[in-house]
Structure 1
Amino acid sequence: MSDLTLTPIAPAESRRPLLGASQAELTEWVQQQGQPGYRGKQLYQWLYERGARSLEEISVFPKQWRSQLADFPIGRSQIHHRAVAPDETVKYLLKLADGQIIETVGIPSDRRLTVCVSSQVGCPMACDFCATGKGGFQRNLERHEIVDQVLTVQEDFQQRVSNIVFMGMGEPLLNTDNVLAAIRCLNEDVGIGARHITVSTVGIPGHIRRLADQQLQITLAVSLHASNQPLRERLIPSAKPYPLADLLEECRTYVQLTGRRVTFEYILLADFNDLPEHAAELAHSLRGFQSHVNLIPYNPISEVDYQRPSPQRVQAFLDALKRHRIAASVRYSRGLEADAACGQLRASKLKASL
């Protein structure tokens, strides 16, 4: 991932948070402050290994220098709210420096800890079934705000994060620069393997190809949720200018350029996109594709009337895909009791505050 280059940290007066920077960038920064270069390695260790939240707490730094930079931003958030589900999934509302609230989820399993991170405050895609899309879009997240989510979960669980999925609030490929910068940091500085990082997208014309050109070893997950273009437009209004056939062609190019298969996500909505003819249609579109289909039974939200299909309907859809030799599995969501469907917890807390 060394091909991802970041803009050097600006002088102190720019106030750009330090989190997300490489050791070389941090070394340059400390030297700009008149400190010896070895302080850069110390700062790096305190940021990524010890989870420092302020420069003042870095005890190996000279006391006078720490005092001078006490309010210089590192880039850490505050836990605004924390909800725990019976399955031990933890959902966080994190308060950013400007007061915006984002969602992050820590998902523990046997010997693994996965973090579902957000890439934007809100989401502009307006998917009809998604609570986040109902709340509108505020802004992109900066690289430090993405990296911070992973460190926050790691600290709270007192366990090393093993997997990251960009499946929280927002469309990652509408914030590609910051997402790529955060991936570089999470891979090289936090130490999470690229193959354990998944970027999920609805599909933005040209951006999957741009991701492919980076030649990363991450997993690409594309949210299809429909087997044909008219059905997809009803669920995802932003899909109208990007025909399903074009999206799939760009995904095939991704496979050719990277050698990595594509995961397709398909939310099953009762009596809407879960019928046998939909399974057959989806199978036809993906025939010969180096891919895997994740079927996701719908997580209900109060804003719309979609329903979760029965386990029998879910199994029938899965069986139909397998009969057509399409690799597929069912992914059941974790932490439903904690409003862990995307956007639910943030929406419920905002309603309560109002």
Structure 2
Amino acid sequence: MNTPIKNFTQSDLASLMKELGQPSFRAKQLYEWLYSKGAQSYEDMTNLPAKLRAQLSEEYPLYVPSVLEEAVSNDGTHKLLLEYHDGVCVETVAIPSRNGDRLTVCFSTQAGCPMACAFCATGKEGLTRNLTAGEIVDQIVTVQRLMGRRVTNVVGMGQGEPLLNYDNVLGALRIINDEKGLGIGARHICISTCGIIPGIGRFAEEPEQFTLAVSLHAAQQDVRLELMPKTSGFPLPELKQSLLRYIEKTNRRVTFEYIMIDGVNDTDADLTALLDFCKGLLCHINLIPINSIPESPYKPSASRTIDKWIAETGRHGIETTLRDSRGSDIAGACGQLKNTFTNGR
């Protein structure tokens, strides 16, 4: 089987052009067509020789995901159901800021997810496969093409656990960050992990200033295992030590995502445990009232409970915000992505 062209790194493209007897600048042209210009086919690449385009088309297929559905929320959020060349589907969410000056894409890193978190629709589907770097970047390129504007921020908070697909995710982040790729600043690029400790250690060593969020959702071990059973190999004390090392190495703040579930992880004991976990960490807490998913028994915490948590964490010097959840009416909000058509097909 021929290798898809988007499986090649920038250095791989340079080697390929050399093998094909092409001047070195062809690799740069090809790379820019694939990403910054978002070419849909080799025929779009008008400054490449026709003979080269024909050879590439035959030996190194250029796949572009198909948009099976685009749903638009009442709040302006767009959710795309994308299908890759092998029939695998993922969902991608584009979120314009309310003042219109930013466009954030929440991208997927795996088709499905192996983590099986109890509150997440994606986790109930299991893992189909990892996405390649090119397939991850294609999500952002597709949003830019369909919405006719530049994406300013990206977050790896869609389907999948990014740190279980580390090499492909990092490759994608570098294309997204590269001036000849999508040109999005590293500090505007974030990935979210359930707490895969070896991956956090690797991420701390990367030279770019990408940012890190951790899906915490409970700071009591038994509660966390009830909600996130596949994190059993990464207990909270060890997770905290890995984050201390990450902060020491990078001097960057970590964001904790915490879904608020009535009567499950929002008790006074849960709040005390969270405050203790955050001691000594350079961190920010993002509280997220749980979004509804089919057949789930979980309900969002009461507003008074959330207000209490914000006040109490603030009193302890921890910056805490309430997530402005977007796209819930099209099943595009946190925890709702499930590769389904909103019109029920």
Provide Cα deviations, 1:54-76, integer angstroms capped at 9, x if missing partner. Answer: 11222222334333433532342
CA contact 1:19–1:148 (8 Å) conserved in 2: no
Match status 1:145 vs 2:135: yes
Match status 1:265 vs 2:257: yes
Give the alignment's TM-score, normalised by structure 2.
0.92
Give the direction of change, closer, same or farther, for the CA distance of 1:305–1:55 in structure 2 (3 Å limit): same
The one of 149, 157, 168 aligned to 1:167? 157
Counterparts of 1:285-296 in structure 2, within 5 Å, are 285-296=277-288
| Structure 1 runs not aligned, ≥5 long | 1-12
Give, as a single letter, the amino acid of the residue that structure 2 aligns with 1:78. S
Q: 1 CA distance for matches of 2:195 and 2:205?
A: 16
Counterparts of 1:64-143 in structure 2, within 5 Å, are 64-71=51-58, 72-109=60-97, 110-143=100-133
CA contact 1:216–1:258 (8 Å) conserved in 2: no
Percent of residue pairs identical: 44
Q: 1 CA distance for matches of 2:260 and 2:247?
A: 25
Provide Cα deviations, 1:272-311, integer angstroms capped at 9, x if missing partner. Answer: 1112332122112212311111111110111311001232
Provide Cα deviations, 1:72-105, integer angstroms capped at 9, x if missing partner. Answer: 3234211111110011110011101110000111
- Kindly tell me the number of residue pairs found equivalent between the two proteins: 340
Give, as a single letter, the amino acid of the residue that structure 2 aligns with 1:151. V
| Structure 2 runs not aligned, ≥5 long | none
Q: 2 CA distance for matches of 1:179 and 1:240?
A: 23
Give the direction of change, closer, same or farther, for the CA distance of 1:338–1:299 in structure 2 (3 Å limit): same
Q: 1 CA distance for matches of 2:217 and 2:147?
A: 32
Stretch deviating more after TM superposition (185-194 or 225-234) = 185-194
Give, as a single letter, the amino acid of the residue that structure 1 aligns with 2:259. I
Give, as a single letter, the amino acid of the residue that structure 2 aligns with 1:99. G
CA RMSD of aligned residues (A): 2.0
Provide Cα deviations, 1:195-220, integer angstroms capped at 9, x if missing partner. Answer: 11111000113221111122431111
What displacement does 1:14 show? 4.1
Structure 1 partner of 2:318: 326
Structure 2 partner of 1:6: none
Stretch deviating more after TM superposition (332-341 or 25-34) = 25-34
Give the direction of change, closer, same or farther, for the CA distance of 1:25–1:68 in structure 2 (3 Å limit): closer
Structure 2 partner of 1:8: none
Counterparts of 1:1-354 in structure 2, within 5 Å, are 14-18=2-6, 21-22=9-10, 24-71=11-58, 72-109=60-97, 110-188=100-178, 189-342=181-334, 344=336, 346-349=338-341, 352-353=344-345
